[in-house]
């Protein structure tokens, strides 16, 4: 009940704080989120540089998701990905995460080409874990919704960090 009251309060605050502000000709838009639906409760890095910095400084593996908003395969994976609480919790606690709809200039992030959806792990030593792959020989870093268990097991692999050569 208190939660419901708080929600209503939050809405009132949101509505009043946007009063009188710029509204596009085409009507009010829903603000874009960094999560893009892959986990609204998670804290996402915005750029690859930022994500690498977080991975190094927190000594956590990085998961990079390449996807497209209007790609049905991306959408299907996103649905099961965002609905899986175990996966979301592990990501929240043990990973640095980044989702991108635009390729970076770093070719290490496309070991076998640029396609979506594609999930690449990067070790905090800045090494792309090209060894952590999905089920498909022609698109080694692609996952389908039915591959969620494999993805979770790959996350466990990524959590076993490489030894730094320092």
Question: Strand 62-66 vs strand 96-100: parallel, antiparallel, or unpaired?
Answer: parallel
Q: Which is nearer to a copy of itself, 4 or 137 (CB)?
A: 4
DSSP summary character for residue 103: -
Q: Which is nearer to a copy of itself, 53 or 136 (CB)?
A: 53
The least CB distance from residue 28 to a copy of itself, in Å, is 7
d(CA 80, CA 152): 12
Residues that bind a copy of itself (CB under 8 A): 7-8, 11, 15, 18, 21-24, 28-29, 31-35, 39-41, 43-44, 46-50, 53, 82-83, 85, 88-89, 92, 100-105
Q: Which is nearer to a copy of itself, 21 or 163 (CB)?
A: 21
The least CB distance from residue 138 to a copy of itself, in Å, is 26
The least CB distance from residue 52 to a copy of itself, in Å, is 10
The DSSP H or E segment spanning 88 is helix 85-94
CB 49 within 8 A of CB 42: no
The least CB distance from residue 106 to a copy of itself, in Å, is 10
Which tokens sit at 90? Answer: 């592990």
Q: Which residues contact 44 (CB under 8 A, 6 or more apart)?
A: 34, 35, 38, 97, 98, 99
């Amino acid at each position: 009940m208190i939660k419901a009251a708080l929600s209503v309060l939050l809405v009132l605050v949101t509505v009043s704080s946007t009063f009188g502000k710029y509204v596009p000709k085409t009507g009010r838009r829903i603000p874009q989120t960094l999560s893009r639906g892959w986990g609204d409760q998670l804290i996402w890095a915005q750029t690859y540089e930022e994500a690498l910095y977080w991975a190094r400084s927190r000594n956590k593996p990085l998961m990079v998701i390449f996807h497209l908003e209007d790609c049905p395969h991306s959408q299907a994976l996103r649905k099961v990905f965002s609905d899986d609480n175990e996966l979301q919790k592990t990501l929240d606690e043990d990973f640095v995460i980044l989702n991108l709809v635009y390729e970076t200039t770093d070719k290490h992030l496309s070991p076998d080409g640029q396609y979506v959806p594609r999930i690449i792990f990067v070790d905090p030593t800045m090494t792309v874990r090209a060894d952590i792959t999905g089920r498909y020989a022609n698109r080694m870093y692609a996952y389908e919704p039915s591959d969620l268990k494999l993805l979770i097991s790959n996350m466990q692999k990524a959590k076993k960090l490489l030894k730094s050569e320092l």
